[in-house]
Structures are given as structure tokens and as C-alpha cells.
Structure 1
Amino acid sequence: MAKLILFNKPFHVLSQFTDERASHPRATLADWIDQPGVYPAGRLDYDSEGLLLLTDQGALQHRIASPTNKMPKTYWVQVEGELTDEALHKLRKGVVLKDGITRPARAERLETPDLWPRNPPVRFRQNVPTTWLALTITEGKNRQVRRMTAAVGYPTLRLIRVRIGDWTLDNLKPGEYRSVTVNLPDTPPKLSTRPKRRRHRS
């Protein structure tokens, strides 16, 4: 049995427990999660939000984070501009980036989701519309989603990961987490504990 923590990582929180930067240290997982012996399974960029998984079991960590397992990850992405069918087709087919072409992705327009406000708010350009899309990828190139949308002409304004494999954010608010138990190599069972939240230390 392995412990798995599902955490809704807030904006501008590092996906690690320490910050190597000595001056002006940034918020880390230690400000939110008080579970000993768990480590991130993969990462989520400092300026991205949403689902981050942590576990106390190396085999489960590898299963989630290894690119060879091609575990699908779904993101809700707010981009600048009115997304065209051509751009969606390019995202689905694969986008050429500096480090190679991306694998085919699932990409669909999304009605504006009912989300928590971001702090600080997203900066919009006056009179420029935005579009939300759901994008599912099966790889993890550095800052891949942002680079994909930029490559097809639509800069990302806000990025939220909502699913990794069978695990989802559900109703977790930013900074909240919950624990589940996983019986490897089976699929995730039901929740084992109630949601918990730890306030950011000042």
C-alpha cells in the first residue's frame, strides 16, 4: 500500500519542499503540506495551478512521473484570442517545438469554467478576447502546454491541471489536499481521509 496526496497547488508555489534561492524565498510545498515522507511525483510549474501528486512510495512515484508510462494529464488553459479550428487541429496533430514535435493531444474548446479567483489576477489586454480549452497530453516537456499554445499563436494566460491519470482535483480548493491509499499495481481506490488544508505561513 502506498500513500498518495492530491494537492491543489496555488499559483506561485514551488513544486518542492525547499527553495534554493537564498534571497526573497518563494512559497513551497512545506507551507501547505505537513505529511512527512512524501515527495512530488512529477512537477507543476511555479506559475501554474492545480493538481500535484505526492507519494511515499518510489514505485508509485515512477509510475506517475515516468514519461515512458505516458500517463495522460489534462489541463484547463485560458489563452489570449479566439481559438480557431485550425489551431485546435494543430494541437491535436502535434506541434513542432525546439526540442521536437509533441505527441498528438486531445484539445477541445471549453466553456468558461467556474474557478477560484487567481491571486494575483490574470492580466488581460483591453478589447482582446480570451478562450478556454481542455488540453490532454501524454508527455512532459518543459513548460509544454504554454509552448504548444504559443506555437499555434495563442499565448497562455492561465494554466490549471485538473487531472492526472484517474486522479482529479474534484472539489479541492487552492491549498487544500487529501490523502488516498493505492494498492500497486491496481488503479486508485476510494478516498481514505477527509480533505485537509494548511494555511500559508506568513
Structure 2
Amino acid sequence: MPLILLNKPFQVMSQFSAHPERQTLADYIDIPNVYPAGRLDADSEGLLLLTDDGKLQHAIAHPRRKLPKTYLAQVEGQPSPEALDKLRQPLDLGDFVTQGSQARLIQEPGWMWPRNPPIRQRQNQPTSWIALTISEGKNRQVRRMTAAVGLPTLRLVRIAIGPFSLATHPVMPGEWREVDPLELERQG
């Protein structure tokens, strides 16, 4: 029962079936019968967990499990304390209300790999980085949350799912490694 930690590159689809225009997980992982436990949009990058065990996949991805997921979002603009506070509270996105989250302004991560292609830069518009931890994972949730507080996301990188983190299990985009699924049980 392998548990694979993959650093999904930008513009790669979170699927193994062929896509007419983009690379897929099959371009990076040649292990039969593993599937992603959760997804990342093509325009998001970072940590994706894959397994061949349906129960383990369910334990990682199911909303009832509330496994925390941490993202680094490069946003357009400078977050005010009020905007960060709104991100920490339940936020009405129209079709659903988010749970509270952890949100804080951080320095640009010095360890972060460059994105290819780079994000667009506007001469008169600064960018900032926010670390955001959520325990749900609705479609495009983090992007919608930052947009709702006036901070459009330019780059989104998931760096942690539960006990698994790119900080403790470093791999570059397109690279993967096998990790111990018992780390989930040790987390509790």
C-alpha cells in the first residue's frame, strides 16, 4: 500500500487519463493503480498525495476527516489586518460559507522554486504572501476566499496535508517520494 507524496507542477492536471492540452499525473508517476487523494487545480501547484488504498484515500480526502491543508498564496496587494481577520472567520462565498481558517501574512518564501511561467507582475501593484490553513477543500476555495477580501491570488502552492509537508518531505516540482501512511495515525 504505497502512499506517494508528489509536488504537482503548475498546469498539470490532477488525473491520470490523457488530457488534450496538458500534462497529467501519468507524465510523472508510473506506478499502477494509484490515485490522488484529493485534487489541485491545474493552475495550483504543490503537495498531492496518491495511494492505491481506497480506505486510505478516503481517510485523507473525506471532508469529515478535516485534515488541515496549508497553502501559500501570493496575492495581489497588501493584506490589511481586517482582510486577514476576515479570512480567519467563516466567510460567505455565495454558494457556501467557509469554516474559520488560520491566515497570516508571511515573507516571500526563500526556499520556493520559481514558477514556470512566472506570475504576471504589475509595476504599480505590490504582491504579498499569505499562509492559509483550511480543514475543508471546496472547489477553488482558497482563491475564492482571497478574492472575497480583495486580494486576488496570483500563485497558489499547497505545502502541507495533515502531517505531510514539503518542508519535512522536500521534493521539487514533478518529483515524488514514498512516505509512511502510519504518519496519519500518529497525528491522531
Q: Select which of 78, 82, 93 maps to 2:78.
A: 82
Structure 2 counterpart of 1:50 = 46
> Normalising by the residue count of structure 1, what TM-score does the alignment of the two structures yield?
0.87
1:95 has 2:94 as partner = no
In structure 1, list runs of 5 or more residues that go unmatched. 189-202
Structure 1 counterpart of 2:2 = 3
Q: Select which of 59, 65, 69 maps to 1:69.
A: 65
1:144 is aligned with what amino acid? Q
The Cα of 1:5 is off from its aligned counterpart by 0.2
Moved more, 6-15 or 164-173: 164-173
> Deviating runs (4+, > 3 A) in structure 1?
none
Residue 60 of structure 1 contacts residue 184 of structure 1 at CA under 8 Å; is this kept in 2? no
Cα distance change on mapping 1:10 and 1:183 into 2, 3 Å: same
Q: Deviations over 1:33-80 (max 9, x none)?
A: 111121100001100000000001111100011011111000000000
Structure 2 counterpart of 1:192 = none
Residue 162 of structure 2 contacts residue 184 of structure 2 at CA under 8 Å; is this kept in 1? no
Classify the secondary structure of the residue corresponding to 1:186.
helix
Q: Deviations over 1:152-198 (max 9, x none)?
A: 0000000000000000113210001000232497237xxxxxxxxxx
Q: Structure 2: how far apart are the matches of 1:184 and 1:128?
A: 42
In structure 2, list runs of 5 or more residues that go unmatched. none
Classify the secondary structure of the residue corresponding to 2:57.
helix
Structure 1 counterpart of 2:32 = 36
Q: Select which of 147, 150, 165 maps to 1:150.
A: 147
Q: Deviations over 1:74-116 (max 9, x none)?
A: 0000000011000000000121102211000000111110211
Classify the secondary structure of the residue corresponding to 2:186.
coil
Report the number of matched residues. 184
1:102 is aligned with what amino acid? T
Q: Structure 2: how far apart are the matches of 1:156 and 1:186?
A: 33
Residue 67 of structure 1 contacts residue 139 of structure 1 at CA under 8 Å; is this kept in 2? yes
Aligned-residue CA RMSD (Å): 1.4
